[in-house]
Structures are given as structure tokens and as C-alpha cells.
């Protein structure tokens, strides 16, 4: 919706006064509103191309344009207008506001039509502003020259950018055809002499982009490099693995594809592997020590795949921030994988890039079984060091609720831990205690559990809102009653 600036101050200078708009916006006359290229979208509006008057003297046009520029801001919109002459004027130059005086309203870019395209405005409007037109100073031609130069430069930049986009689209035609799986178009472009290993703006070749085995085979037969160097964010073999196509993988490997080729994120084909391809890749010699493939298996919650990789020598905790245990803790189907990883010796104290632990993630998705297992293996409510958001596991259990009804038992279990009292009223970066988070996202049961453990209901967040105020705003009478009993 437009923002109303109807009473914004007019730009008043000696000789430039436009008058004060005493009449409401709705009652002022509109001038300079044009139909677009599709007249039905603007029925009844004039076409500016039918009102061009090349005999209108430039000095008078400049005076009228200067008056139009100094209008009072009436309404501001979220989008820009555009020039109906399609002259290439950039949209910001055409403006996004309506201006006006005490009688008329006009678009912010109307001065462009008057000064540049000699569009004559209605006689009544010109008669109205005639006595108010600003003085034309001796150096007015310099201003016109500067504005025309600025417009010409802006148009040249816009057209150059458009040409660059067109040239880039032409250069990447093979990439688009490969991505779309358009075999006929790929053959047409290759026959026209298109470079098969040309890279797009992301550094990928067409072979690395295609998701079609037929297109990949056509590109390879045309001489495409099977292992482009340097690699992009995905390799051709990884695309075949993502497609879960053993025939495609076999075709690439038989033609020399490196099975352990790393992409720019240091992942191998095994890092994308699904269970159906795992045995095949291992038989072809894939190295389980590269690319942290156990993370991929943990993300799918596949215990059998995890076991196979670990038995083959894969690292259980890896070197990165996203360890298999953390990924299993985030996964809503990862309870079995999490239990197996802990059984195999995964470290429950490892944290991700935000310094959030597996216990915090499991608490966030309200998995009591996983929370219990992690605590039994030494996990704590709050990792050491700075945590993004300043939250602990109690916060995460309350925040992750969002209207669900299975978090009270998780909170109750966490509050039974020896260090729970020390973190019960801990405030995060927004000043929220776990009780405040429960009032914001949780249920009355969550609030009752926290109050029963001794949570302080008088602590407000950084905005000064106490839990009871938040509960009232949500309209939860049972939660308000529980908070007001204390």
C-alpha cells in the first residue's frame, strides 16, 4: 500500500512557492498520468506520444519542468514508473512518488516528459502554474545540458548492461540446454562450434550442470573434460550420483572419471551417495576418508549405511563443524542413527558453526529418547564458549515448540539435570529466559513445568515484555492464569 506523505512540507524558496495544499488529496485534479503499452490496464488515460509539441520553446519547457520537480510529496509507492517513450531512462529517474500543489497532483517523472520529450500539458494546468513558474536564470542551458548528459550516460549504462546480459545468455546457451536436458539443442549448439568446456559465471561446465545421462554422453563424445579443473561446486560424477543412476556412474568411471575427485567444498561423489549406490562406489575404490560421507548417511538417518562406512574406515566425527551426530540430532527421523553413532563412540560435545550442540538440536525437535541418550553420554545443557543467540538447551526446547504439545516432557527431563538451576533464568541475546520463550512459542504445560522448577516470571525481555504480557498478547488464557498465580 502507498505511504501517505500528504502533509509533507513543500519546497518553498523565493520565486518557487507552490502554495499550501488545503484541499484533500482525493479532490485535487490529476495531470500527467499516462496509459501504458496495454491500454485496458489504464482505461481513459491519454497517450503522451499523442501530445508531443516540438514547437514548444525549450526555455518555457524548462521552467515548467522545474516547477514540476519542486512539487509537494503527496504519496510514495513501492515501485518505479517508466517512460512511455521507451527512451531507456532508468526507472529511478522516473521516480516512485506523486507530487502536487494546492490544486493538482502529478507523477514524479512528469518533468522528464516535458523537458526531454516536449509533451505539452493541458492548457488549464499551464494557466494555473503560469504565475508561479520559477525564474529562468541565465545559466539554465547548463542545467539542461547536465541533465541531458546524465540521462544519456544512464541510458548508455543501462543498454550496455542489457547487451552484457544478452551476450552472457548467448555464451551460456549450452549450459541452459544441458541443464534443461534438451538433447536436440545441445547437438545444435555443438554443431555450431560452441566450446564444450566453456564455463558459466559460477565456474561450471555444461557437463557438470546436466542432470541427463543422454546429454552427458553427448557432451563427453564431443570432448568435454570429465574432471574439470578447477572443480566447481559439483562435479559430473557427483551429478550422476545425485541422479542415483549406476549406469551413468559406470559410464563416467569407465572413461576415466576420478572417483574421489573433490568439488570446491571438498566433497566427493561418496558424499552424495544414496544407499543403492554405496556398494557400487566402494567396490570401485571410493575412499571413505575423504568428503565426510558419514554426514550424508546421518542426514538420511540410514543406520545400515553409517555402519558400512564406519566399518570401511570412515571417521565418525569428521573434521568439519557438521558432524554426523549433529546432523542426526537435527533430523526428525534421526533417532536411530543418533543412538548408533553414540554407541560407536561419537563425541556428544562437538558443536556446529553456531556452537550449538547435538543436545540443543535434539531438544529443539523434542526427541526425548535422543535427549536422554545424549545426556547419558555426557552432553550438557550449554556448551562452553560463545553461542550464537546466547541460547541453551532449555531455550531450544521452548523455541522449537511453535504450538506443538510434546515439549513439556523434554523440558521436565532437562530441568532434572544437576546444572539446570544455573541455566533456568539465563537470558539469550534478546533478553529472553526459557520461560519467556515458552510464553512466546510454547504451551501452558511448558510454562507450568518451568514455573514448577522455580523459573522467575518477572524477568522481561529486551523489549520490556514479561512472560504474562506475551501470553496475553497470544490470547492463551490458561497460560496467563498459570503465570498470574505467582
Give the model confidence (pLDDT) of 211-268 as tens digits: 999 999 999 999 999 998 888 889 999 999 999 999 999 999 999 999 999 999 889 9
Q: Are both 172-225 and 231-290 of the same fold? A: yes
Residue 28 has a pLDDT of 87
* pLDDT value at 4 more than 50: no
Contacts of 232 (CB under 8 A, 6+ apart): 199, 202, 203, 204, 205, 208, 263, 264
Asked if 322 and 306 touch (Cβ cutoff 8 Å), the reply is: no
Burial of 326 (0-12, 13-18, 19+ CB in 10 A): buried
Residue 340 has a pLDDT of 95
CATH of domain 231-290: 1.25.40.20
Q: pLDDT tens for residues 66-117?
A: 999 999 999 999 889 999 998 889 899 999 999 999 999 999 999 999 999 9
**Domain locations in the chain as residue ranges:** 3-149, 172-225, 231-290
pLDDT band at residue 402 using 50, 70 and 90 as cut-offs: low
Q: What is the pTM of this model?
A: 0.67
Helix residue ranges per DSSP H, 222-302: 236-242, 246-254, 275-283, 293-300
* pLDDT value at 407 more than 90: no
- Residue range 172-225 forms a domain whose CATH class is mainly alpha
Amino acid at each position: 500500500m502507498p505511504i501517505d506523505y500528504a502533509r509533507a512540507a513543500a519546497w518553498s524558496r523565493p520565486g518557487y512557492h507552490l502554495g499550501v495544499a488545503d484541499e484533500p488529496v482525493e479532490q485535487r485534479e490529476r495531470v500527467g498520468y499516462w496509459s501504458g503499452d496495454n491500454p485496458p490496464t489504464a482505461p481513459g488515460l491519454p497517450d503522451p506520444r499523442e501530445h508531443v509539441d516540438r514547437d514548444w520553446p525549450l526555455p518555457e519547457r524548462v521552467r515548467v519542468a522545474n516547477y514540476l520537480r519542486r512539487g509537494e510529496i503527496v504519496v510514495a509507492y513501492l515501485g518505479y514508473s517508466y517512460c512511455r517513450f521507451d527512451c531507456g531512462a532508468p526507472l529511478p529517474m522516473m521516480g516512485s512518488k506523486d507530487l502536487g500543489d494546492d490544486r493538482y497532483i502529478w507523477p514524479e517523472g512528469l518533468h522528464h516528459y516535458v523537458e526531454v520529450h516536449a509533451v505539452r500539458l493541458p492548457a488549464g494546468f499551464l494557466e494555473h502554474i503560469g504565475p508561479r513558474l520559477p525564474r529562468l536564470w541565465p545559466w539554465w542551458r547548463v542545467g539542461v545540458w547536465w541533465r541531458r548528459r546524465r540521462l544519456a550516460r544512464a541510458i548508455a549504462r543501462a543498454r550496455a548492461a542489457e547487451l552484457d546480459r544478452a551476450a552472457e545468455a548467448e555464451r551460456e546457451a549450452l549450459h541452459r540446454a544441458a541443464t534443461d536436458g534438451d538433447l536436440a539443442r545441445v547437438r545444435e549448439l555443438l554443431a555450431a562450434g560452441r566450446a564444450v568446456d566453456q564455463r558459466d559465471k559460477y565456474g561450471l561446465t555444461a557437463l557438470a550442470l546436466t542432470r541427463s545421462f543422454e546429454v552427458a554422453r553427448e557432451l563427453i563424445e564431443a570432448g568435454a573434460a570429465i574432471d574439470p579443473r578447477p572443480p566447481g561446486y559439483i562435479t559430473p560424477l557427483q551429478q550422476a550420483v545425485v541422479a542415483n543412476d549406476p549406469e551413468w556412474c559406470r559410464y563416467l568411471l569407465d572413461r576415466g572419471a576420478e572417483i574421489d575427485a573433490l568439488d570446491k567444498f571438498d566433497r566427493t561423489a561418496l558424499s552424495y551417495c544414496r544407499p543403492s549406490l554405496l556398494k557400487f562406489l566402494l567396490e570401485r575404490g571410493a575412499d571413505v576418508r575423504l568428503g565426510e560421507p558419514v554426514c550424508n548417511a546421518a542426514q538420511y538417518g540410514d543406520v545400515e549405511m553409517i555402519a558400512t562406512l564406519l566399518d570401511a574406515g570412515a571417521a565418525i566425527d569428521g573434521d568439519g563443524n557438521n558432524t554426523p551426530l549433529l546432523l542426526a540430532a537435527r533430523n526428525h527421523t534421526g533417532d536411530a542413527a543418533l543412538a548408533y553413532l553414540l554407541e560407536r563412540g561419537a563425541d556428544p560435545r562437538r558443536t556446529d558453526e553456531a556452537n550449538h550442540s547435538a543436545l540443543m538440536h535434539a531438544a529443539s525437535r523434542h526427541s526425548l529418547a535422543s535427549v536422554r541418550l545424549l545426556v547419558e553420554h555426557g552432553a550438557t545443557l550449554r556448551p562452553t564458549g560463545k553461542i550464537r543467540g546466547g541460547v541453551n538447551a532449555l531455550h531450544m526446547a521452548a523455541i522449537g515448540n511453535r504450538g506443538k504439545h510434546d515439549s513439556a516432557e523434554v523440558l521436565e527431563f532437562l530441568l532434572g539435570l544437576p546444572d539446570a538451576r544455573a541455566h533456568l533464568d539465563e537470558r539469550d541475546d534478546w533478553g529472553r529466559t526459557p520461560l519467556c520463550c515458552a510464553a512466546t512459542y510454547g504451551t501452558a504445560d511448558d510454562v507450568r513445568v518451568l514455573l514448577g522448577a522455580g523459573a522467575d516470571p518477572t524477568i522481561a525481555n529486551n523489549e520490556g515484555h514479561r512472560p504474562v504480557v506475551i501470553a496475553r498478547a497470544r490470547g492463551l488464557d490458561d497460560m496467563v492464569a498459570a503465570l498470574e498465580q505467582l
